[in-house]
Amino acid sequence: MASLAFSASKSYSFLTKIRIGDGSYDCSKDEKSIFEKIKYSTRNKNKNLGLTIMTVATRPQPTVVSPSPEKFVGNDSKLAAWSSVRQERWQGELSVQGEIPLWLNGTYLRNGPGLWHIGDYGFRHLFDGYATLVRLHFENGRVMMGHRQIESEAYKAAKKNKKICYREFSEVPKPDNFLSYIGDLANLFSGASLTDNANTGVVKLADGRVVCLTETIKGSIVIDPNTLDTIGKFEYSDSLGGLIHSAHPIVTDTEFLTLLPDLIYPGYLVVRMEPGTNERKIIGRVGCRGGPSPGWVHSFPVTEHYVVVPEMPLRYCAQNLLKAEPTPLYKFEWHPESKGFVHVMCKASGKIVASVEVPLFVTFHFINAYEEKDEDGRVTAIIADCCEHNADTTILEKLRLRNLRSFSGEDVLPNARVGRFRIPMDGSPYGKLEAALEPDEHGRGMDMCSINPAYLGKKYRYAYACGAQRPCNFPNTLTKVDLFEKKAKNWYDEGSVPSEPFFVSRPGATEEDDGVVISMVSDKNGEGYALLLDGSTFEEIARAKFPYGLPYGLHGCWVPKA
């Protein structure tokens, strides 16, 4: 689809606008005819798309230039992090330097976008890659490693047809002809053209099933944690519908909670699924206070009794979802005028107990949240921490592969901090957002976080994350943040990129940081290794070298030995 460009020669021109829900978008003549076809083809199927097509007089607008797609380019450095995985699968034992604690028995699984090209066509963005699962199995001081591609429909179709066949984060299949494009747009409304490339995270449900996830609901895929076989789609048996959800559900021994953004009537459904079932049930709904659509919810936090629903001014954009070319913020748009909000929903009743305006913010990842109480045990405020990018959306652009692959020594990673929201529970209309510690403690880099899972929703002291040693173009340290002392301890290996530090608690531990932190490192020689740090001292206790460097990965989970 053409990018938006209007003639500046007249002071007014006539423009077609489509309205979906509360949002309205400009479109060209060709696009208008496509929307008319969609409207007509869905009218008789009882689908209320809330689609209105209208013509309006408008002042000329500036041309919006889309980022250009790129050829498959190599790496400037030897770093394996930003190169596609070398082969479909591998498994074997790793040699260990140092000592793996004998209590560490189980499997760490890490998921991420590890294949960024098809033939000589290179993908644009980190989040576009086809999912690569990596497994580290710890037993009696030994480590077995394996990696394997997830057999999503999107991955299988790309391999078979030698081209992208589904809409990925920034990549869209090239239409063979105009008619198939009309088909694609119609498919977009039904979700058929969206990817099921489950490349973001992996979770172990309380009933033992292991599910890989992305932000499209259809991209929920069950895998075998031992063989890394793709078992099949995780089919939700309810009739909630919708196309997208948070990439980071909250998963505990008793429940699976997630948010379903509603793009038609801007808001979020908060849903819960019990172990052993595939049925999500609605806890409640939050209507957006800003517009034109819900804020992006990559993740959200919970406390013991509440679900915290962030409404970020970086909002989904229905128009960008429909475009064939990427826009500067991909499927999103920055709406500072719409403001930022945080809503608090009671888990038991589904009632909104607080809804406050907060300063503008940009975050992918919430770290944790908890209830602050007075002497009588009454909840006075909710504290919610996140990796906050100083309300600056440029981090999305920095995660383009060509930026990651071309580090020239300049310090180009935008600043980030532990953003701490304080949401009053006394009905006041505003919440606060401040840095929880001086960001220089962690080099002003902050993302890819974990905590001791026993402290989920509770007052906690430690967070593990990736920080920065500058100059850098990507978070390049592992950092342990002490939120009581407001200090951080940092691990750094020059030229290396470590992945999300994942905390595993020692059985029987009574201290919050008694355990190990697992990460996978891409080093400057193109090699890679699994790294184990002591959770308390944050010193290295062991490393296990991979046969070759692996691509960067995002999020993981722990599957304890049965």
Ligand X SMILES: CC(/C=C/C=O)=C\C=C\C=O
Q: Which residues are annotated as a binding site for Fe cation?
A: 248, 298, 365, 555
Tokens found for residue 260? 């379903």
- Return the residue matching tokens 């696009």: 31
C-alpha closest to that of 364 among 431, 302, 295, 305? 295
Residues numbered 406-435 forming contacts with ligand L7D5B6GP, rule: CB under 6 A: none
CB of 434 to ligand L7D5B6GP, least distance (A): 26
Closer residue to ligand L7D5B6GP in complex, CB, 75/187:
187
C-alpha closest to that of 530 among 224, 144, 210? 144
Which of ligand L7D5B6GP, ligand X, none binds 476 (CB below 5-8 Å, type-dependent)?
none
Residue 7 phi/psi, 5-degree rounding, is -65, 135
Tokens found for residue 222? 């069950």
Alpha carbons 285 and 468: distance in angstroms, whole number? 38
CB of 446 to ligand X, least distance (A): 7
Residues 6+ apart with CB under 8 A from 301: 250, 308, 366, 367, 368, 369, 384, 385, 386, 457
CB of 334 to ligand L7D5B6GP, least distance (A): 15
Candidates 26-34, 161-169, 333-341, 421-429 — which segment interacts with ligand L7D5B6GP by CB under 6 A?
161-169
Tally Cβ neighbours within 10 Å of residue 427.
Answer: 9
Tally Cβ neighbours within 10 Å of residue 484.
Answer: 10
Closer residue to ligand X in complex, CB, 126/322:
126
The secondary structure of 192-220 as a DSSP string is TTB-----SEEEE-TTS-EEEE-SBTT--
CB of 293 to ligand L7D5B6GP, least distance (A): 11
Residues numbered 307-326 forming contacts with ligand L7D5B6GP, rule: CB under 6 A: 321
Instruction: Report if residue 405 touches ligand L7D5B6GP, rule: CB under 6 A.
Output: no
Which of ligand L7D5B6GP, ligand X, none binds 489 (CB below 5-8 Å, type-dependent)?
none
Helices (H), 269-375: 318-322
Task: Determine the length of the chain.
Answer: 562
Closer residue to ligand L7D5B6GP in complex, CB, 216/496:
216
CB of 320 to ligand L7D5B6GP, least distance (A): 9
Instruction: Report if residue 169 touches ligand L7D5B6GP, rule: CB under 6 A.
Output: yes
Which of ligand X, ligand L7D5B6GP, none binds 448 (CB below 5-8 Å, type-dependent)?
ligand X
Which of ligand X, ligand L7D5B6GP, none binds 214 (CB below 5-8 Å, type-dependent)?
ligand L7D5B6GP
Tokens found for residue 542? 């062991």
Could you give the angle at the alpha carbon of 198 between the alpha carbons of 384 and 232, nearest 5°?
125
At 6 the three-state DSSP class reads coil
Which of ligand L7D5B6GP, ligand X, none binds 309 (CB below 5-8 Å, type-dependent)?
none
Which of ligand X, ligand L7D5B6GP, none binds 85 (CB below 5-8 Å, type-dependent)?
none
Alpha carbons 483 and 521: distance in angstroms, whole number? 25
The binding site for ligand X (CB under 6 A) comprises: 200, 364, 395, 416, 445, 447-448, 475, 554
Q: Which residues are annotated as a binding site?
A: 248, 298, 365, 555
Which of ligand L7D5B6GP, ligand X, none binds 194 (CB below 5-8 Å, type-dependent)?
ligand L7D5B6GP
Alpha carbons 182 and 82: distance in angstroms, whole number? 34
CB of 194 to ligand L7D5B6GP, least distance (A): 5
8 Å CB contact between 353 and 306: yes
Tally Cβ neighbours within 10 Å of residue 237.
Answer: 9
Contact pick of 315, 323, 331, 442 for ligand L7D5B6GP (by CB under 6 A):
331
Contact pick of 16, 83, 195, 473 for ligand L7D5B6GP (by CB under 6 A):
195
Residue nearest to ligand X (CB): 447
SS3 per residue for 339-357 = CEEEEEEECCCCCEEEEEE
Alpha carbons 535 and 454: distance in angstroms, whole number? 14
Residues in touch with ligand L7D5B6GP (CB under 6 A): 113, 127, 167-169, 194-195, 199-200, 214-216, 244, 247, 321, 331, 554
